[in-house]
Structure 1
Amino acid sequence: MKSTTFPLNISPLNSIWQSSLGDAEHSKISYFNLNNALLDEVLRIQQLGLVIWSPDSDEYGLLLGDLQNVCGWSNDYLKNVGPEAFLSHLVSSSFKGLCSLIKYMNTYLMSISESQLPHFKAIYDYELIGKDGKIRRICQENSIFTLDKNSKVQYFLSCISNISNVKRDGKQHLFLTGASKEMLLEIDQLTNDCTELQLLTTRELEIAKFMGKGLQSEEISELLSIALTTVYKHRQNILQKLKMQDTNEALHLLKTLKMI
């Protein structure tokens, strides 16, 4: 699938970060001393990218892995142009959705206590246009790398992967964890409406994990010592809560968001 880049105004995204994170003093770091050849090779083998970036500065601290294969843009290009140029290659509908999702991400982040900050994680998806013109669906997993002297986020550490196999056309997702309450959000790109999806119960997640390993309902019933009809009911609940009709796609999404 091919497309052309869209002229995007990224100022709304920048203003979201800045208004939420404040104007705390920023320690400028051009490159972190984490260039590890073994880690870089492992990331390349696993087709992952590892990025350290600042939410209130147009710079990357570190880029490892083969980002050309992951997102369609080389490490050198991204290092030279910074996060602003990266955002300019988002498909326009994904950019709008990402602006909405980041508002929720910030609200959630600001509600977390200092002791919970190390456990914060935000996993979300978007569509990006590579240098070759192809559109890729990307999953980005953010955790906090450093805080400034006022305990505000200075740098995020992000793991980036290509999830084009997850067929969720017209939808974007955000899974937030770290606080006492987790959140799962879905954006409808056509209307830009954001819906908070009902989280799966511990039992439903357990059954989803077994399903993801290829176990049939009868096997799950026997393994958990519960009625077969109960397993069917849980499977139905999983689909209803995720607003899906296809079990495989539901499992793809749960795995992508690191929920199972």
Structure 2
Amino acid sequence: MSHELAYLKYIVLYPQFNPIPVGVFNQTPFSFSSYQKAWNSGIEFADVGEISDMLEHNPLLNQMLLMQGAALAVKDVSSMQYPLILGDVENVCGWPKELFFNEGVEAYIAKIPLADQPGLEEMTKSINAYVAALPPEKIKSFRAIFDYRMIRKDGRVARICQESIVLKTDQQGNILFFLALVSDISHVKRIDKQHLHLTDGTEHLLFEVDDTNQCSPLDLLSKREVEILKLLNQSLTSDQIAEKLFISVHTVNTHRQKMIRKMGMADTTDLLNFLKVYRLL
């Protein structure tokens, strides 16, 4: 199945930092209420107690997050609140976790630059539609990885990677509780475009938010391309890779340039970093 067909199948207030991208004027303006709708916020109230208890009383989990410089939160979709927040929130997001505890998801979204908010909404729609179409046995294998920028309290802009799984859905497949693991990837992702990786453990779909803030499918790398990248990640030279794979050096270099163009990266280092962040390598 082509990525275009797969996409058809599964259908966060600081404007001074970024101009509105080309094409945004033809779309409905972003608002928090539209973001809520993307989360199917009309669902019935759900009890988060059992999920919070399971995660909150786990000191090793919080310590691990602090050591890794990451933060974790449970999003209650029905209330748009974070009943549980763990880890190094201020280091990652630039704001104290009490802000998000007290003011919820709306406060978090408000810290995301205006230019990234429409793309985040579209990625959210794709995530929810994808999950709703999954059979129950595939929900536990679902993972979404995506990125957006965040304006920190000190004025710096960081790029955040969010990796999420579904904790609970209702009978219609709507997400009730969403677990989000966030980390600062500013040092490894230098390109401005937002990306989304959806997987059910078997299938992998990769999207790029284009200039009209739509999620456009990207072709995944071939088996041979992944083989070459894994060897590049081991710091092998083109000559060494060619010898190991019984192909010419020219073929190795051609594959390298093709992969860089295919993923819209600047060089091999950017490509490797991107694929590792999105767990595609």
TM-score, scaled to structure 1: 0.88
Distance change >3 Å, CA 9–CA 130, structure 1 → 2: same
| CA-to-aligned-CA distance 1:12-61 (integer Å, 9 cap, x gap) | 11011117xx6245225498122322221221111111111123322113
Matched, 1:129 2:145: no
Deviation at 1:156, TM superposition (A): 1.2
Q: 2:80 aligns with which of 21, 39, 58?
A: 58
User: Where in structure 2 are the equivalents of 1:89-128 lying within 5 Å?
Assistant: 89-128=111-150
Moved more, 5-14 or 31-40: 5-14
Q: Structure 2 stretches of 5 or more lacking a match?
A: 1-12, 17-29
Q: Structure 1 stretches of 5 or more lacking a match?
A: none
Higher normalized helix content (fraction of residues): 2
2:101 aligned residue: 79
Matched, 1:215 2:236: yes
Look up the equivalent residue of 2:190 and give its one-letter code.
K
Deviation at 1:193, TM superposition (A): 4.1
Cα distance in 2 between the residues matched to 1:55 and 1:210: 42
Moved more, 201-210 or 80-89: 201-210
Deviation at 1:142, TM superposition (A): 0.7
Deviation at 1:208, TM superposition (A): 1.6
Deviation at 1:71, TM superposition (A): 0.9
Q: 2:274 aligns with which of 253, 256, 259?
A: 253
Q: Secondary structure at the match of 1:26?
A: coil
Q: Secondary structure at the match of 1:23?
A: coil
User: Where in structure 2 are the equivalents of 1:37-52 lying within 5 Å?
Assistant: 37-52=59-74
1:198 aligned residue: 219
Cα distance in 2 between the residues matched to 1:5 and 1:241: 32
Look up the equivalent residue of 1:168 and give its one-letter code.
I
Cα distance in 2 between the residues matched to 1:194 and 1:150: 24
Matched, 1:145 2:167: yes
2:199 aligned residue: 177
Q: 1:69 aligns with which of 63, 82, 91?
A: 91
1:158 aligned residue: 180
Deviation at 1:148, TM superposition (A): 3.6
Distance change >3 Å, CA 127–CA 250, structure 1 → 2: same
Cα distance in 2 between the residues matched to 1:28 and 1:50: 15
TM-score, scaled to structure 2: 0.82
Q: CA RMSD in A?
A: 2.4
1:167 aligned residue: 190
